Amino acid sequence: MSALFVITELLEFAIKIEQAGYRFYVEAIKQNPDREVVNLFQYLADEEFKHEMVFKALLETLTASGVKPAAEKSAFLKKMFSSHPLADPQLLSRVFSGQEAVEEIVEMALAFEKDSVIFYTELRELVDQEGSAKVDRIIREEMGHIRKLVEFKSALHSV
């Protein structure tokens, strides 16, 4: 298996994570009519969409010269992707029964945002310098999502 194929496959995983995250937040909006909840989840859905576009652009511009062979790391990332909460395409149908408390949805969101940061931290080492800078930006934004979710969760408990 060529290194280019491996990087391409991993970027496709990243795109799937962002797409599933978008669907998760859109579904969370449908479950929670509270304006503050809707605003948070809409912001996060918009961010997931932006990240998807970045990963798609990286995938389109990927060249063999920007690829570092890393079979061990790519095997690790493939396993990590398969255990990512958003890797399961049936997730949303099982997650949202309509009975979830906002706290539960926030906990799920925190879990997959954290897993995304770990996945992207490893992924950035496999792309070229320009790609790495873009992935770094996404990691910082994902960390911002975690902060927003933690702050939101804290505010829920102080009410």
Q: Write down the domain spans for the chain.
A: 3-158
- Higher pLDDT among residues 47 and 87, named by residue: 47
Dist. CA 20–CA 143, nearest whole Å: 18
Distances (CA, A) of 96 to 27, 31, 153: 8, 8, 19
pLDDT digits (tens, 9 = 90+) for 33-61: 889 999 999 999 999 999 999 989 888 87
Dist. CA 42–CA 61, nearest whole Å: 29
CATH H superfamily, domain 3-158: Ferritin, core subunit, four-helix bundle (1.20.1260.10)
- The model's pTM is 0.80
Dist. CA 81–CA 66, nearest whole Å: 22
Q: Which helix (H) or strand (E) holds 95?
A: helix 91-95
Highest mean pLDDT among 8-22, 40-54, 97-111: 40-54
Q: Is the separation of the CB atoms in 81 and 107 below 8 Å? A: no
Q: Return the structure tokens found at 46.
A: 């918009």
Query: Please, what is the average pLDDT of the chain?
Result: 81
Dist. CA 81–CA 34, nearest whole Å: 32
